[in-house]
Amino acid sequence: MKYLPLVWRNLTRRKTRTIFTILSIVVAFVLFGVLAALNVAFSQGVELAGNDRLIIQHKVSLIQLLPESYQARLETTPGVIDVLHQTWFGGIYQKPSNFFMQCPVIPDRLLKLYPEYLLPADQRKAFLSDRTCAIIGRQTANRFGFKVGDRIPIQATIWRKRGGATNWEFNVCGIYDGDKTGVDTTSMFFNYEYFDEARQFGQGQVGWYVIRINDPAKAPEIAGRIDAMFASSFAETKTTTEKAFLQAFAKQIGDIGLIIRGIVTAVFFTILLVAANTMAQSVRERTSELAVLKTLGFPDGLVLTLVLLESCAIAIIGGTIGLGLAWLFTQGGDPTNGMLPAFYLPTADLGRGALIALALGVVAGIMPGMQAMRLRIVDALRRT
């Protein structure tokens, strides 16, 4: 402890260099944080997918509709507990760039299948009873300033009303939250019965099914049974786990995500390399001082420790500030307005970042520190 003032003095002898080294480490760790958030965002929340949920879609493509009558048949399939159908509404709020998903559902089935959506009791009641009610996720509600009691117009692109009108109006009667960070709260859900009666065509046709099964280990077996059940019908199905479904969807974004992540990783390590080089250089410049310390009787191990303390201090200060800033930045949520709903910094990555910061300090300090330790005093003093 008594050596701390010495370490501090060494850090402040070239204030500008120390400050700028710390700043570049800060930047590196902000990038690290953004990278971690992008990783989550590009995987579309795969980590949070329920492993007891399966998605059943039309075999040819997700855009092909399935009969509503499958619901009853799915319910009686052994191993299936809950069944919900969803349909892509694809409406526009004010302008196309204000994109968010709207989906007609049977309210009580939705809340049963997605317990991660939290809704206050009175709003829940309204959603279950009021047919023109819509519930909207927190993120989208905040984005457009929707409040409970608002009446919002949505222009249909696919589903016109009977008579050809494209204007649908919904009462916002609930705003749901996720039960943990990363739950997608960008969608709007509304009553399927209202939708089915009012739409111009397609009655009795739905987009896809989500089911809950009693044993995640039996997922492949149940999926196989379901697909076999509908095999010879016109609407053949393809059943996958929610996780596989989301993964495949994330892969569709393809190389873009991969390339951006690759680039950020490369940059992160480049900046670290540059910072480590600067830190090592500042120790090398002080070789003769270290020799003086040794002349005064400082043991080798202590000299090494002092050097390491110095470099670790820089790395940890920079790392902490950087991760803090990244955390603040990701609190703002999705920077692209709706395309990456799951944009947040996982706690595990904060820990990983802290470890990398510590490693940086050690790596940057160890080489010059070892050299300093092995120095022959006479040589070092001669070198000025």
What Cα–Cα distance (Å) separates residue 151 from each residue in 160, 171, 173, 185, 298? 19, 5, 9, 19, 76
Phi, psi of 50 (to 5 degrees): -70, 130
In whole angstroms, the minimum distance from the beta carbon of 125 to another protein comes to 34
In whole angstroms, the minimum distance from the beta carbon of 214 to another protein comes to 27
- What three-state secondary structure class fits 126? helix
In whole angstroms, the minimum distance from the beta carbon of 379 to another protein comes to 19
- What three-state secondary structure class fits 159? coil
Could you tell me if 86 and 66 are in contact, meaning their C-beta atoms sit under 8 angstroms apart? no
∠ CA(313), CA(278), CA(361), 5° rounding? 30
CA nearest neighbour of 170 among 91, 111, 251 = 91
In whole angstroms, the minimum distance from the beta carbon of 238 to another protein comes to 8
Site residues for another protein per CB under 8 A: 16-17, 20-21, 23-24, 27-28, 30-31, 34, 38, 59-64, 90, 92, 96-97, 99, 155-158, 160, 164, 166, 234, 236, 238, 247-248, 251-256, 259-260, 263-264, 266-267, 270-271, 274, 277-278, 281, 335-337, 339-340, 384
Q: CB-based burial of residue 77 (10 Å sphere; 0-12 exposed, 13-18 middle, 19+ buried)?
A: middle
Q: Indicate the residue among 266 and 328 with the shorter CB distance to another protein.
A: 266
Q: Indicate the residue among 89 and 117 with the shorter CB distance to another protein.
A: 89
Tokens for 157, please give them.
Answer: 């692109």
Q: CA-CA distance, 373 to 383, in Å (whole number)?
A: 16
In whole angstroms, the minimum distance from the beta carbon of 292 to another protein comes to 16
Q: Indicate the residue among 48 and 271 with the shorter CB distance to another protein.
A: 271
Q: Indicate the residue among 276 and 304 with the shorter CB distance to another protein.
A: 276
Q: Indicate the residue among 16 and 76 with the shorter CB distance to another protein.
A: 16
Q: Indicate the residue among 331 and 384 with the shorter CB distance to another protein.
A: 384
